[in-house]
Chains A and B, each alone.
Chain A
Amino acid sequence: MSIKVPTLRLSLGAIGVGLSLAAAGVGGAAAADLKLGFDLSLTGGTDDYGKGARMGAELALAEYNEKGGYKGQKVEAVIYDDETKPAKGVENVTRLITRDRVFAIVGPVNSGVALAIIDIAQKNQIPLMDTIATAEQIIARYQSAPKNFIFRVSLNDGIQTSFMIDYIKAQKYQRIGLMHDSTGWGQSGRDTALRLLKEANLNLVAGPEVFDQNDSDMTAQLTKMQDAKVDFIIAYTLAPAAVQIAKSMQKIALKVPWTGTWGLIAPNFLKLGGKELTEGVMAVTSYTPDHSANARALHEKVDRIFKDQGGDFHPVATAQTYDGVRLVLRALDIAGLDPQKVRDALEQVDDFTEAVTKMKPHPFSPQNHESLGADTGFLAVWHDGKILHAE
């Protein structure tokens, strides 16, 4: 059985204006069209995430439409590429709202783009479902507004470290080493880790050691970890420097389990490092293809349907977007084609048991727009070029 997606298209230029006008007539002045808008990075620095997200989106919509769609009508996807540029994202989202009259928006991929576009969604009262970007501000900015129109099905930056600590405690590691790159992001990660390690009464025996994100040799930092006999290392690093860490560990024959943030579950890490270097490296995640029955089913479908596009090459981006889009469609079924009511309905959905990520059946509430909070993240481990649930 193959799922066809004939109603989907990558709209880059001419949009069916005539169709929009016709549909607008049916729904009344305030209502939107039966269109779901997407702003994704399909080119530029984070395009892997965007392409993975598009698979999840296409699959969720195709399945929904095949079951009859919204009152017998198919929901159309309008997908724009923001090229990982905030200005382009602003242009796309404005066009989605004013010209395409979408009832909700899914995206974006990049946190920088997200922080530029959420203001537009909030101002126009169109619900926006962030399924990738992780900056805390994305949800926090409008948390105290009377109605926050921004929702997230992705791990925020702040909570990721807590999953590492949970894992360390569960595995009873005693001697922790900490490394981070010298960027602002790396330093804030270090501060969070130091605080949480202290709260958990865990022993930091080496570090914090710092490195430049373009350093090619980390042996100086790692020999100190080796001397201190660490049994687990936390590293705030992007994929390129993570590969250098793994290489330098090989050089000095240091073999300890270590984890990075969720940046290391991206396919880029595998591309730069290869199967052998990434083997055993861990990363924070909300999903692995093997963590639940729902997850296994999705992974199998994506691998089969999108075979010609590389199969399930970015499982987490695909899974989170698959969940995010299905939540928006559930809200559409509950509330009808009114963006503000769709927003309210998103907070009401309380039986979403088909999630493929670890989110709970009642993911959102008026107070909480982060579907992936405490107890919903865990560590994944690279094995043979694939990410698996870390036992």
Chain B
Amino acid sequence: MSALLVKLWQALVSGLSIGSIYALIAQGYYVTYVTTGALNFGQGEFLMVGALFGFTCYLTLGLPYAVALVAVVLLVGAMGIGLERVAIRPVMRHALSLSWVLSTVAVSIILKNAAVQIWGPEQIKFPSPFGEAVMMIGSAGIFPQELFIIVAALGTVFAMQIFLRRALLGKALIAVAFNRNAAAVMGINVTRMVVLAFVLSSALAGLGGILIAPITFAWAYMGTMPGIKAFAAAIFGGLENPIGILIGGLVIGLLEQLFGIVNSNFKEGVTFLFILIVLAISPTGLMGRREISKV
């Protein structure tokens, strides 16, 4: 019995680390969805750029990790401005347009191709600034970088919540999300808020990239799976509820590890089956707003 507990504890620790990355990226889906109704399906590739640009800053240029981290957040955040300009604004003229699905996927493919040209197609080792020695939390082993991921990712998620609820700019963003026309009447520059939403979303993905690179390697094709899993976390948690999304990300990370203990052949399949069941019971996700229709 205790052997099982040891395994469960290890799965919990491992799952929390990867799950907090999903949660971080998924917050990016939330912030653009509530302001524009659109998502960046290239979040995974923005994460990839964050990892590889971080590699260039930290290892090629030899900047301190903290500086590289800020540089990544600024660069990938700035890419959000470009994304909004070329892939969102031109195609969002009609309220029901779904062209943003294709245009954001197009940007992600372009980014992937460009990354192969710049950094090559192979995995690159990204040494952790915190060393490679295993730490023990009880019976479970964890790398210092994984611990840092949990702290940094969850810290960022909470910091963003405080920003959105307390800061003037954040409140303006939420106002646009709540009612775009009313916000405009109140003198809020809606276009600027939409750009801000994409900047935030992209910056979160970039941060996720430089955080996770020491665990997964940095390479051009690294973003696809985290992008999809984070999307699953966002839908699973409830696309309009940041706390739900946070829980969704952590749960998906945990479930993969837990099902892995039972049978590694089905670990991803069973995780997504579980998501399907939850969505069948609660279509707007774990903590999404219930759709109420009067008959």
Contacts and interface: CB of A to CB of B under 8 A. Distances in A.
Contact of A44 (B121, B141, B260): B121
Contacts of B141: 219, 250-253
The interface residues of chain B, by DSSP majority, are classed as helix
Contact of B11 (A220, A227, A271, A273): A220
A277 B11 CA distance: 22
A341 interface: no
B267 interface: yes
Interface stretch (A91-99, A157-165, A209-217): A209-217
B14 A274 contact: no
A116 interface: no
A88 to B, nearest CB: 15
Given A219-B11, A252-B141, A272 B217 contact: yes
Interface string B115-127: 0000001110100
Interface in A260-306: 268, 271-274, 276-277
A243 B132 CA distance: 12
A224 B261 contact: yes
Interface string A27-44: 000000000000000001
A209 B264 contact: yes
A174 interface: no
Interface residues of A, number: 29
Nearest to B215: A216
A252 B217 contact: no
A220 B257 contact: yes
Contacts of A272: 123, 125, 217
A45 interface: yes
Contact of B260 (A221, A240, A271, A276): A221
B51 interface: no
Interface in B239-280: 257, 260-261, 264-265, 267-268
Given A227-B7, A251-B140, A251-B142, 4 more contacts: A219-B14, A221-B264, A243-B217, A274-B132
29 contacts: A45-B122, A209-B264, A214-B216, A214-B221, A214-B222, A214-B225, A216-B18, A216-B212, A216-B215, A217-B18, A219-B10, A220-B7, A220-B11, A220-B14, A220-B261, A220-B267, A221-B264, A223-B6, A224-B261, A240-B123, A240-B217, A250-B134, A251-B10, A251-B142, A271-B125, A272-B123, A272-B125, A272-B217, A274-B125
